[in-house]
Chains A and B, each alone.
Chain A
Amino acid sequence: MASPTQATGGFGWQIEDLDTDEMILNMGPQHPSTHGVLRLELRTDGEVVKAARPHIGYLHRCFEKHAENVDYPGVIPYTDRLDYVASMGNSLGYALAVEKLMGIEVAPYVQTIRVLMAELQRIASHAVAIGTYGMDMGAFTPFLHLLRDREKILDLFEWTSGARLLYNYNWIGGVSYDLPDGFARACRDFLDEFERITHPELMDLLIGNKIFVKRTAEIGVLPIEVGIAYDLTGPNLRGSGASYDLRKDEPYCGYETYDFQVCSGQGRYGPVGSCFERNWVRALEMAESVKIVRQALDRIEKMEHTPVQEKCPKRVKPPKGEVYFRTEAPRGQLGFYVVADGAGVNPYRVRVKSPCFTAMGVFHVLAKGMLIADVVALIGSLDIVLGEIDR
């Protein structure tokens, strides 16, 4: 097999390119803190990074090609595996895109269930994001406390849909299983415990910790214009002070009827747009999601429970057309571009615009001039999941 530098077509950095005291450090595909199989090629002068180049593609599983070979409902399990940490959001985005193509409007009960599941998934996903970020910084304990609470959410999901991580839950026109009896009470127990114990402990132990703040509050500052130009979305952009949230500005699934706040970076400990701010936004969003889940549970108890699959078409054959639909996934704006040719039962093209893909695109800009330890902090604050980047 050709050597790696030859195989890159000469685009890799060669020894001849370096200055005398620079070195190429490879934070390679197997590394405890790159959140997946990501290769970061850093050109460093001692501990200071002069240039950075991320290499992705180690987890490419040909999602878009598979989507052309299975029928529309068959794509949903594949969408789960895109951002495997937050699966409910992926299938929701795809199902909403196809429903828009077909003109299907689901019942309010199904919409409320979808919102409930999406927000619980947001709490679970941010728990992983913040926990692993703390672990990268050396704080091992908040990770386990957050994962203990995430286990309770996963138990709720398993109770409802049968699976802990990849649910195949949001179907085109409905959801796969109705909420079981006793779900509301179990969910409320979890929310009480989370809101009263875990979340304050998290804010105290990790977010307010002086060492953590010193590690993260001055680095990786992302100005809003750069964020918009590089198409960063979600908590990454809101950490820079923007307050654009698709749930408020282009609502779907009835989000406009819920009462919650959009969290954005406030610059409490350092410049707005630093790594700390992005993490701060995620921590606050967990509390907001708790509010939304409580409202959804209250509504479910009062509204009429229609059958959850009554709007699911027997055969999904959208008319010829295309749609680009965005949803607010925990990592940013997840966009599905679905092209239907109107002739077959398979989609003609499904393109996923994943928020982490563009977030990695800005990495080489932010990493210049950082120390190597800060590179780890930066990657953690962008909250990337390689499944979504590589698809």
Chain B
Amino acid sequence: MDFAALHARLAARFGDKLVAVSAEALNPWIVVAPEAIVEVAAAAKDDAAFAFDNLMNLSAVDYPKENPPRIEIVYHLFSYQLRHTLVLKVHVPREQPVVPTVEGVWPAANWHEREVFDLFGVTFTGHSDLRRILLPDDWQGHPLRKDWVDPDFYNGLHVKPPTQMAERVAAGEPLGVGPFDQTPTNRHVE
């Protein structure tokens, strides 16, 4: 089915839950309200006319400068039986982002959602095992957000490049306990 037919069929079932549509994009998408995403996902999988049995990709994009600032969770769906694709999006606010998990519909979402939680801080309610996947378990913060600033130290290891740190130490900034408190000033840094 082409996008117009898919949209029409979805709108017939979930009319008010579909917040926005973009049909002209290269991969046209439908924005769904966060609380309805599980219903829409289940319908997309179980309805014989949709048959979206495969979740190709689940990722997030951070839009702090949009109005309103939001994080978009993007679901790329594919159907092996009917060979059509669909893109669903969910907009969540940047502080306290919460979305229900679609792990029950597509098990592939388990690890994808863990990664979004790890890098963006989005909490997926109902997830069986929501913990960090790529970053160390005791990392603070969510780096893929646009307002991320690298910390100076992580467990005693420096995160910023050594020249930057040496410059700051030479300028007299008290950096606390770290490797550069014991090292002499770099002669090449004026």
Contact = CB atoms under 8 A, between A and B. Distances in A.
- In the complex they form, whether A and B have CB atoms below 8 Å apart is answered with yes
Interface in A168-227: 225
B112 to A, nearest CB: 8
Nearest to B143: A65
Most buried by A among B137, B148, B155: B137
Contact of B59 (A229, A230, A333, A351): A351
A361 B135 contact: no
Contacts of B110: 361
**Interface size bracket, A side:** 35 or more
A337 interface: yes
Contact of A9 (B25, B80, B131, B148): B131
Given A65-B144, A353-B56, A2 B138 contact: yes
Given A249-B83, A324-B76, A8 B137 contact: yes
Contacts of B54: 228-229, 231
B53 interface: yes
Contacts of B132: 57
Contacts of A361: 107-108, 110-111
Contacts, number: 92
A155 interface: no
B36 to A, nearest CB: 22
Interface in B87-118: 87, 106-108, 110-112
Given A56-B134, A57-B135, A335-B56, A323 B26 contact: yes
Contacts of A57: 132-136
A101 B148 CA distance: 27
A357 to B, nearest CB: 6
B129 interface: yes
A238 to B, nearest CB: 12
B99 to A, nearest CB: 17
B102 to A, nearest CB: 12
Contacts of B138: 2, 7
In the A-B complex, the 9 residue pairs with the closest CB atoms? A231-B108, A57-B134, A351-B59, A353-B57, A361-B111, A60-B134, A7-B138, A7-B137, A349-B61
26 contacts: A1-B155, A1-B156, A7-B137, A9-B137, A57-B132, A57-B134, A60-B135, A65-B144, A225-B53, A229-B108, A230-B108, A231-B55, A244-B80, A249-B83, A321-B25, A323-B27, A335-B56, A335-B57, A337-B57, A337-B59, A348-B61, A351-B57, A351-B61, A358-B112, A361-B107, A390-B134
